[in-house]
């Protein structure tokens, strides 16, 4: 099992954030799939990265302007459909962990936390899920709704104040941009007993550098390259 996160599934081979992309990531033995969530007009959590459907479908406009039934009429890159969060969780339940990113910039969806938590609970995958967001207020609201759900902040560059906030709100993981990654930060995060996740690694040397730290998890797009480096590391260090 590759202890890393497949960014939007196997998005370099299949249409991102689709059932095909997630199935592909699981076939590549990735432990966790990352997926992005918005709300439809009828308040159904749907899996798509952008706030609009323009880039990846044959439609135009904001996700929030479509009902889930209308979103299902759209085609993702000529071959797939936009899945609901419930479809993804129930389809892959028991075979992978889920990193659910709330796309809630500027509180676009004031009640997204409630709807996402409800789907997680009804699908029975609480133990296999952690929810993350750049919107830390959104994550804090979710903590208020559930004391047991695993949560994480995304922050390009962590600050001392952030660690205090994480402790206060029982936030267990921190996702950060690779450009600010350092050995010192790895030690600091370990001191705070948090899970460090690094994203935005495009090059082989960047992946190899992060792989020197077994406690750190990587969020990656090039699954094949990362998998080969991970397997080589395992055979070398027998981790």
Catalytically active residues, by annotation: 7, 49
Tokens 């339940």 correspond to 93
- Give yes or no for a contact between 226 and 4, defined as CB atoms under 8 angstroms apart: yes
Residue closest to 77 by CA, chosen among 53, 51, 95, 99:
53
Q: Which stretch of DSSP H or E encloses residue 150?
A: strand 150-154
Task: Say if CB 46 and CB 68 are below 8 A apart.
Answer: yes
Least Cα distance to 82 among 66, 97, 93, 98 occurs for 66
Spacing of C-alpha 139 from chain mean position: 13
138 touches 102 (CB < 8 A): yes
Return the closest-CA partner of residue 111 out of 130, 89, 138: 138
- Residue 27 has which token pair? 């076939």
Looking up tokens 């998890």 gives 217
């Amino acid at each position: 099992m590759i202890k890393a996160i497949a960014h939007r599934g196997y998005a370099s081979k299949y249409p991102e954030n689709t059932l095909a992309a997630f199935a592909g990531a699981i076939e590549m033995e990735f432990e966790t799939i990352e997926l992005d969530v918005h709300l439809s007009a009828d308040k159904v959590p749907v899996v798509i990265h952008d706030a609009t459907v323009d880039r990846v479908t044959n439609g135009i406009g904001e996700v929030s302007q479509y009902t889930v039934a209308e979103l299902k009429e759209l085609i993702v890159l000529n071959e797939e459909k936009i899945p609901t969060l419930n479809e993804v969780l129930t389809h892959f339940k028991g075979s992978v962990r889920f990193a659910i990113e709330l796309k809630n910039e500027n509180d676009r969806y004031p009640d997204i936390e409630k709807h996402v938590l409800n789907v997680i609970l009804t699908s029975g995958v609480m133990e296999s899920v952690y929810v993350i967001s750049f919107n830390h207020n959104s994550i804090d609201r979710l903590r208020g709704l559930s004391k047991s759900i695993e949560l994480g902040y995304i922050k390009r560059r962590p600050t001392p104040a952030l660690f205090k906030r994480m402790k206060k709100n029982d936030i267990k993981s921190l996702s950060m941009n690779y450009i600010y990654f350092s050995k010192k930060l790895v030690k600091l995060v370990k001191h705070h007993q948090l899970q460090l996740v690094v994203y935005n690694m495009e090059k082989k040397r960047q992946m190899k550098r992060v792989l020197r730290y077994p406690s750190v998890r990587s969020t990656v797009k090039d699954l094949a390259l990362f998998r080969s480096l991970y397997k080589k590391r395992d055979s070398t260090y027998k981790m």
